[in-house]
Amino acid sequence: MPIHVPLFSHKVAAGFPSPATDYIEDRLSLDEQRPCVCKKKAKIKLADGKERTIQHMMMTSFWHPDGTPMSAQQFMESLFGKLPEFFKDEAELRAMWSAPDTRKKLLEGLAEKGFGKDQLSEMQKIIDAENSDLFDVLANVAYALEPLTRQERADKAMALISTNFDSKQQVFLSFVLAHYVTEGVEELDKDKLSPLLQLKYGGSIADAVADLGNPTQINGVFVGFQKYLYQQGVAA
């Protein structure tokens, strides 16, 4: 912030500091005392013996079932303990998350246990992954995997998509991925397919069918490409 030094009309005797100098020195002294505002990180070790990095002393809204507040570390430890009830290993997590139906079922099951989308989104901030996918939250907590940004994940997946879909399908999927990068994994839900088609084709179902095939084929393209976002090769 620029320092505004007041102007004085009177002369200052030689050898004596001016009021302006005193003002600047006082301001500098205050600035030196002001604490640094920066992101502090802390390492926590879960029951698997692996460390995770979280933002230190961040205000959160995690709560125990009895209504008492819970720290980010306690929330992560609780989530870590519950995740084996939903998938047995990393491969099963990737498979479940790759399909809209099983992804939705997983999120609903987690919400019933107290790990809803709001809490998982808060955990994104805690692990410094706000531009990542909720998949990365679960993978980080369960297996200490480093998060990818949605842009990184989309870029890696697009290389695979280009060899598995025709040119018109690739154009549509690139459009879908742009929304995924901007908005998040919710853009990959089945109920978003129709709005995405309307946005892309201006409400013309005939144009969509001409490019992508009949409704069953369009649904197959939309659901089928998602595995390339989450398969083993697309990892940090």
25-39, 133-147, 172-186, 199-213: least confident range: 25-39
Determine the pLDDT at residue 9: 39
Q: Domain-by-domain residue ranges, the chain?
A: 1-34, 41-143, 150-230
pLDDT in tens, 37-88: 445 776 776 777 787 877 755 556 677 777 788 888 888 899 999 999 999 9
Determine the pLDDT at residue 106: 98
Determine the pLDDT at residue 24: 42
Determine the pLDDT at residue 182: 97
12-16, 92-96, 121-125, 132-136: least confident range: 12-16
pLDDT in tens, 156-196: 999 999 999 999 999 999 999 999 999 999 999 999 999 99
Determine the pLDDT at residue 6: 43
Determine the pLDDT at residue 232: 78
Task: Please report, for residues 87, 119, 147, 230, 233, the alpha-carbon distance to residue 84 in angstroms, rounded to integers and kept in the order given.
Answer: 5, 18, 20, 19, 23
- What percent of the chain has a predicted confidence (pLDDT) above 70? 78
The mean pLDDT value of the chain amounts to 82
Determine the pLDDT at residue 67: 76
